[in-house]
Every structure is written in structure tokens, then in C-alpha cells.
Amino acid sequence: MADRPPAYAPQVPRRLDGLVAEAAAGAPDRTALVCGAQRITYGELDRRVTAAAAALGTLLPEAGATVAVASVLHPDFAVAYYATSRAGHVAAVVNPLLREEDLLHVLTLSRARLAFVDAALYERLAAVRDRLPGLEQVVLIGDRPHDGLPALRELTHPAPGTRGPAEVPAGPDDVACVQFTSGTTGPPKAVRLTHRNLTVNADQIALAHRLDDTSVTVNHLPTFHPMHLNSAVRAAATQVLCTGAEPAHAVAAANEHGATHLYSLPVRLARLAADPALDGLRLHTVTRIASGGSGLPATAAARLTERFAIPVFQGYGLAETSPLTHSDDPDHPVHGSVGRPVPGTECRVVDVESRAVLPAGSVGEIQLRGPQVMKGYLGGPDKTGLEPDGWLTTGDVGRIDDDGRLFLIDRLKDVFKCDNFLVAPSEVELVLGRHPLVRESVVVDLPEAFSGAVAGALIVLEASATADTTAEQAVAEAVAFVNDQLPYYQHIRHARAVDAIPRSGNGKVQRRLLREQLIGLLAAA
């Protein structure tokens, strides 16, 4: 079992919205958010939060309602998110890229009574609105107007003499937020996070990432994740929202605003590392590059470090842990590792079948415990989804080295058995990635009558792969290369070339859907 972590008792606000109030009190004129031409100070952000909270108190006068907030990469998300807390309600953070049926699922599951959405998401919401009888009100956020909908900017510019929200007696252990799991192995579940879960994790992240009031962070993610918002506000740092999809956009934003930290997705960072068209790009002030959302291949991290001469580090966490539990050393990262536990957090690895705690170096299922671990899943009593002693079983497979660093190997539900041998798809993908004709790949399990399951692969070939050969021949060459280096039970039995690997809105590979895609391609052959 992991040693108990050192004592950690940060002085954090009692409520989530207290993060903004604290930053505004200490540095009212410091820039909190930059988005295009908009620059919002902490004092102005706090005033907008208070005004929106007062309006919410009128729209939903009884505290404790669930308010859906689409996490668009725009300052309005920050205002709506903290205003929901200040009004005494629970924020359900919604991915703005969801399609109609998934949107219906999360709004029904969370029992949202009011939703803050942008114009693009509203078009999808309108298609299922008649199936959401509990949704009483929709408020528009973002820059695009929509006829017939009240807009957040109207709520944050109240008439003179309008009173602020009444004091809400919410405590640190009350639920502040509902976060949804990624849904890569089934329908998303709703995670109940308390004020303390979120404020403590904001402090843990700020410490782990070396954030302070001199930091300027570039958020180059497709959506606004509360992790980056809360930690930047906790540190009273400036956050630059970069909405451009290309890696060059993030580099330009970082240089323009004198950024110290660059946050992006692994798929975007891998492109930044590998694309020869980007060779001329330089980062002038950034001292750390952070990857999150899924694993960044060690080769991509090494190339990125070599290109920019800046440390590239990553971390680990889940919706159930607010989210961060691990972070590598931002100044001296070990590529391939997600680092050590953040302050106050315990991590251990247990045997998949016996559940015995394993020693360092052994591979097993990861369990976590700490002040950022959820109150429980929505729909059950407190601690639903947790072990009786407070441990969270993650469903991820990994190992802990002698220095306490965690190395992820795979999702437990992605691991499968071939002839009773465990096969980790990521291990097969790692070998595939070494072949010069392979740009990207995903390995999935395919049903097989005698072995139980065998490995199949979707492969994105390099542009040069088909110059002197067909795609089928290039795939066959890559598969032969892999199978020559792995034991028989890890051999790829079926593979197809594809133009791209589809990903979810947050950049994650959805193996369940890709398995169905490969099965369909094989059936059509």
C-alpha cells in the first residue's frame, strides 16, 4: 500500500465562487481572462459573477437547482460557472460539442432546470427540447446572438439599484458541480463534486504546475475545462483563451501575450512536434508545455522538447477526482510518465483479480484516494462508486516505479484476453508507431471463436507510404513488422488503412466505436 501522503491542509475558500472573490480582493486590476480583443480583470469578473448570480436567484429562487453550463472556450463560461455557485445552485458542466442524443442524456441525468448554451449548441438542444420537460429556461452565452433567447450579457449588466444575490448557506461538503465521465466505454455517468473537492484541487494544480500571480497560461483546448479555470483563478494568474485549432495559433497567442504555460491536447502537441511545416515556430516566453486529456507518446514529447528546448510534462486524473491526481515535474519531466501524486493524494496499484496491493514495478489496476475524490455518482447515496475506505477504483492499468512515478498502460476495459493472455492495445500501438509508414494507429479487440479475442488495427499511413506501393501492401508491411516483435497472442490479425482516427470532442480515442468501424470494414471486404 502507498505510504500516507504528507499533511496537506490548504486554506481554501469555503465555496467554489470564493476563488474569484479571493482573487478579486487581492488583485482587482490584474487581467483574469483574455479572449480575442476582450480583456477582463479579476475585479470585473467578480462583478459579472455577482450580477449573474442575482439574476439566477430571480430565475431559480429556490437554492439547490441544477444549472447546465456549456463549457465553451469563452469568458461567459467562467461567469456562468461561478455565478451558479454564488446563487446556491449546482453547475452541470456540459461538453458543447455533444450531439442531440448525448445532450438529451446528460441534461436528463442531471435534471437541469436552466441551461447556459451558445448559439451552436442551442440548435442541437432545440431538436430535443420537447423531450426535456424539466428544463425551464435557456440563456445564451458567447458572442453569436439568437433571437428569442435571453443572453448572459443582459444578466451581467443589471439596472441601477439591483441588489446582489442573498447569502447562500452552502458548506464546503455540499455539491457544487456535476461533471460527466467521458463515456468512452458506455453512457456518461454524472459525478458529484463538492466545493471542497474543487477548491482543494485548484490549489493542488496550482502547486503542481508552478502557477502564481505572475503566470500567463494559454488554454489551447477545444472546450473550457474547469481544471484550468479554477487553478488559474486560485493562483490569480492570467489565462489566454486560444480558439484557433492549429498549433501555430497557440504559438502565436503565447508569444503575443508573453505566456509562461501552454496547455494543449496530445493530438495537437504531437502535430506541433512532428509537422515539418512548423519548423520555423519559436516560443519566446513559455517555460513549460503541459499535455492533458489522454497520453502523449514519449516520442512526441521528446521531439517537442528538442524543437522548443522547453520541458513537456503531463498529468493524470478523472472526472471523479476533480480531476487532477498526478503531475509530472514541470521542470524535469520523465517522458512516458504522468508523474507523482499531487499534494495530499494517495495512489496504489492492485491485482486485477485478487485485489491485493502490489509492490513497485508491478502492473495492475490503479486506485486513488484524496480530498479531491468525488462525493459519489449522481443517483445513489454518498460514496456511490467508492470503496468503503474511500479508495476510487479507476479502471486504468499502470505501474508505479521506485520513485513514486505513475506510468499508465491501458484502460482496464480496453485490455482483453487472447488465449487467456492479457493484451494491452497500447503496447501493440507503441510497436506500430515505430514503423516509418505508420503515422497513427488504434488497436482494438475483435471477437474470435477459439481465442476469445484477437487484435485488430486501424492505421493512418504516412503520405509517403503509398508512393511506391498500395495502401494494402503498406498495411501488410507494418503488421508484419509488429508481429515479428511481439508474442503470438499480441499479433495483429486484421488491419485496415483509414484517412484519420476519429476522436471525441475532448481528443480521446473511443475504442468501442472504432471497434465497430473496423468490424464493419472487415464485413464489407
Query: Residue 477 falls within a domain, yes or no?
Result: yes
Question: How far is residue 15's CA from residue 19's CA, in Å, rounded to a whole number?
Answer: 8
Report the run of H or E that residue 511 belongs to, with start and end: helix 511-524
Query: Residue 107 falls within a domain, yes or no?
Result: yes
SS3 at position 279: coil
What's the pLDDT tens digit per position in 433-455? Answer: 999 999 999 999 999 877 888 99
Residue 3's pLDDT is what?
A: 62
Question: How far is residue 93's CA from residue 224's CA, in Å, rounded to a whole number?
Answer: 10
Amino acid at 101: E
* Listed residues 195, 230, 252: the one ending a domain: 195
What's the pLDDT tens digit per position in 27-79? Answer: 999 999 999 999 999 999 999 999 999 999 999 999 999 999 999 999 999 99
Range of the domain at 78: 41-195
Residue 222's pLDDT is what?
A: 86
Q: Which of 374, 363, 373, 355 is nearest to 406 (CA)?
A: 363
Sign of CA dihedral 292, 298, 300, 301: positive
Query: Residue 154 falls within a domain, yes or no?
Result: yes
Residue 160's pLDDT is what?
A: 61
Sign of CA dihedral 220, 224, 225, 230: positive
SS3 at position 228: helix
277 contacts: CB under 8 Å, gap ≥ 6:
none
Which segments in the chain show pLDDT lower than 50?
Answer: 1
* Listed residues 174, 195, 216: the one ending a domain: 195
Residue 141's pLDDT is what?
A: 97
Report how many domains make up the chain.
Answer: 2
Q: What is the 3-state secondary structure (H, E, C) of 80-146?
A: HHHHHHHCCCEEEEECCCCCHHHHHHHHHHHCEEEEEECHHHHHHHHHHHHHCCCCCEEEECCCCCC
* Listed residues 162, 195, 228: the one ending a domain: 195
Residue 287's pLDDT is what?
A: 97
Peptide bond before 160: cis, by omega within 30 degrees of 0?
no
- CATH number reported for the structural domain that contains residue 82 in this entry: 3.40.50.980
Query: Residue 118 falls within a domain, yes or no?
Result: yes
Strand partners, 39: 34
Residue 164's pLDDT is what?
A: 63
Residue 148's pLDDT is what?
A: 83
Question: How far is residue 298's CA from residue 186's CA, in Å, rounded to a whole number?
Answer: 29
- CATH number reported for the structural domain that contains residue 466 in this entry: 3.30.300.30
For the question of whether the overall pTM of this predicted structure is more than 0.75, the answer is yes
Which one-letter DSSP state was computed for residue 257? H
Report the run of H or E that residue 461 belongs to, with start and end: strand 452-461
Burial class, 499, CB count within 10 angstroms (exposed 0-12 / middle 13-18 / buried 19+)? exposed
Query: Residue 59 falls within a domain, yes or no?
Result: yes
Query: Residue 133 falls within a domain, yes or no?
Result: yes
Amino acid at 62: E
Query: Residue 209 falls within a domain, yes or no?
Result: no
Question: How far is residue 217's CA from residue 239's CA, in Å, rounded to a whole number?
Answer: 5
